[in-house]
Amino acid sequence: MTAVSVSLGVGPTSSVASPAGASPLAGTAAEARRRAAEREMSRARRNARVDGRERRRRSDAELSQIAERGRRELGGSGPGSADEATAHEVIAWAVEQFGDSLAVASSMTDSVLSALVAEQLPWVDVLFGETGYHFAETLGTRDAVAHSLDVTVVDVRPLLSVAEQDEAYGPDLFARDPEACCRMRKVEPMRRVLSGYEAWATGVRRADSGSRAKAELVSWDASNNLVKINPIAAWSDDELVGYALRHGLTVNPLLNDGYPSIGCEPCTRRVSAGEDARAGRWSGVDKSECGLHI
């Protein structure tokens, strides 16, 4: 992804006039408290609705048929064709079909997809794979997203802590067997959580790598047994960055520090000029995906 100079933090806030003689900071703080209270009330209402509703997960056969119908309706003439549906149209279809049974998966590289979905499904669950190995900047991005957007960030954690995994399998499993480490710390936890939903929206884009070049807008995800939706599959790096800039959205500051693709800290390095955007992931190992998207 193209480097972008966007500072970590929340999006634009409303301008609030302070009473005569009062500090402008006091007015800003009061507005922040008011907005925080409104957010918590809205989130509570949404959670009460979800908790109080009997959620019958449709069968795999039913969901697979919905996925196929969505692929035909939204995919146009095929991946990359001019008649494909837009990201907003894909999300509108997903919200209509799945409602609160739709989740967003985010690596906290940026907040674009979370913001797009939250516009049409406020307080949507945003699933973040908290592996225990993330950069501090990634955790800061997660916290900023939870604070600035109308989303519910859900930390998806492995069964074992890093210390427990080290005790059971030896230290630094990521260096000796990255496939096993990714499976235990990312893939299996996410699959357990995804089993409670009917569909997930991901930030997979065709510009990410050659292996994602044919990614469809909607498909049946047989690995995770739910509908997979890639609303921004057709977006270029420049389109993604431009959207974030125009809307004041949080992005991970590592994007501007030589990390166009961001994973766990021990398995991610800076990328040199001319290298593939994902060349810094699991460098030196025959591996380019954690396993969630294959």
Binding residues: 181-182, 264, 267
Q: Which residues are annotated as a binding site for [4Fe-4S] cluster?
A: 181-182, 264, 267
Pair of tokens at residue 253: 């500051």
Contact 285, 293 (CB under 8 A): no
Give 251's strand partners: 110
SS (H, E, C) the chain: CCCCCCCCCCCCCCCCCCCCCCCHHHHHHHHHHHHHHHHHHHHHHHHHHHHCCCCCCCCHHHHHHHHHHHHHHHCCCCCCCCCCCCHHHHHHHHHHHHHHHEEEECCCCECHHHHHHHHHCCCEEEEEECCCCECHHHHHHHHHHHHHCCEEEEEECCCCCHHHHHHHHCCCHHHHCHHHHHHHHHHHHHHHHHCCCCEEECCCCCCCCHHHCCCCCEEEECCCCEEEECCCCCCCHHHHHHHHHHCCCCECHHHHHCCCCCCEHHHECCCCCCCCCCCCECCCCCCCCCCCCC
- Residue 235 designated active-site: no
* Neighbouring residues of 242: CB distance < 8 A, sequence distance ≥ 6: none
Q: Which of 105, 115, 290, 292 is catalytic?
A: 290
Q: Active-site positions? A: 290
